[in-house]
Amino acid sequence: MRGSASCKRQVIDLLKKDHSAGVVLVNIKRISDPLQSTLNLIWQSNDLVLAYNPAWVKEEPLRELTNLLHHLALHVLWYHPYRYRDAFDPAAVAIATDVAVNQYLEESPAGTVTLVDLERATKQRLPRLADSAAYLPAARALAPATKRQLVGRGVGGERPIPAWVTPAGANPLLMKASLKRLTKGRAPHFDQRGRGTVPQGQDQGLTEPSGSYQTDWVRALRRLMGTAIDGQRASFARFNRRQPYRMDLPGRVSRLVTPVEIFVDQSGSMGDATVARLLKMVVALVHQQGWQVHLTAFDAAIQGRLAVGQLRRLGGGGTRFAAIFEDLRVRRVIPTTPILILTDGAGEEELDARPYQNVLWLLTTGAKLSVQDPPGSCFHLRKDD
C-alpha cells in the first residue's frame, strides 16, 4: 500500500509496538478491493481477509493507517469477526466492538467509537476494560439515528459497518480454525514484552476453557507415566483374606506409584540461574502431580542425588549423556520408567540408551540436541514454563 508496500512498512512498525497484533497482520491475507471505502475485515469462504481500497490507502496519513491496522488486528485477537458473524444489529456490534478494542490503543483511529462516545450517547457510566458483550446492550438500546451517527463518521468517506456475514457454503468450524491460524503460536513464541496490550483476564476470556493448563512436555510426560507396585494398602474393595466374613475389616490391594527419573544437567555451560530455575520447576511439578521422583545431578558423570527442594549446584564440568544411561543400567531401573533430562542440549553425538526409550529431553535453549538419534522426544522449554 502506497500500494501494498506501505502496508508492509506499517506492519513492521506494529510488530515492534505490539507483537501479537503485528503477527496477525503478517498472517492475514490482504486483498485489493476498490469497492471498499477504507479497510475492512471480511470473510471469503472460510477465511478472514483484510480488504483495502488502494486509492484510499494511498492518501491516508501513515499514523492513521497504523492506528487503524492495530485496531483491526485487535478485532481478530478478540475473535469479533467469528463471535458476531451474522449479527442482527451490525451497527450496535460495530459500536460495542470498537469501544472494547479502542481502550487498549494509545490513540483511537478516526471514525471509530470510543467509550467516551458511547457514554455520552447513552448518558450512563459503563465499565472500563470490559468485553464487547458488556457494551452491546447499551449500543443496541440507542436510537437508529444515533447508531448511524456514531458509526458513520469515517474520514474520507462513509465508514463501512463491520458486517461479518458468513458466506454461503462456509463451515463455522473451519472459520474458527482460520482465526486460530492467524494467532497460532503467539503465546509460546513471544515473551511477556511482546504479548500485546490485552489484560490476562480478558485474554483468557477469548479462548475456550480447556481444563487445567498443561504444556506440551507435561502432556507428553503424562502419556509416558506408567505404574509400579510399592507394597500394599488397605482397601474395603477387597475381602479380608484372614476373616472374609468380617465386612468391617479391609482387604489389601497393591499400592501403585508413578516413579520418574529426573536428571539435571549441571555442566559449565548451564548457568547457576538456569539450574536454579529448572530445579524450582521440578519441585513445583512434583508437588502438583504427587510423583515418586529420583532427582540426579550430572555433567560428564553422575554428580550425586538431589533431594526435592535442594537447590544447590553439584557439577560444573563438561556434558556426557551416556553417564545417565550407565547409571540407570547399574541401578537396574525398570526400562519403562519415564526419564526426564533437563539440559541445554550440548553433549556427544552418538549415544547408547538401550533399553531406555521413554525419555523426554527438555532443552533450555533454542539449540538442537547434539545427539543425532536420541531416544524419546525433545521439547524446548519456554521462558514462562
pLDDT at res. 202 = 45
Number of C-alpha atoms within 13 angstroms, CB side, residue 96? 24
Residue 71 CB burial class (10 angstroms; 0-12, 13-18, ≥19): buried
How many Å apart are CA 57 and CA 348, to the nearest integer?
Answer: 56
More confident: 219 or 319: 319
How many Å apart are CA 182 and CA 316, to the nearest integer?
Answer: 43
* Structural domains of the chain, ranges and CATH numbers in brackets: 4-205 (no CATH), 223-380 (3.40.50)
pLDDT tens readout for residues 322-378? 999 999 999 988 887 888 888 888 888 888 888 888 888 888 777 788 888 888 888
pLDDT tens readout for residues 140-196? 999 988 988 888 754 444 455 666 888 888 888 888 888 888 876 443 343 444 444
pLDDT at res. 236 = 76
Reported in sequence order, the residue ranges of 216-373 that DSSP labels E, i.e. its strands, are 228-235, 251-257, 259-265, 292-298, 302-306, 339-343, 359-363
Task: Evaluate if pTM is beyond 0.85.
Answer: no
Place of cell 494509545: 106
pLDDT at res. 209 = 36
Place of cell 527419573: 261
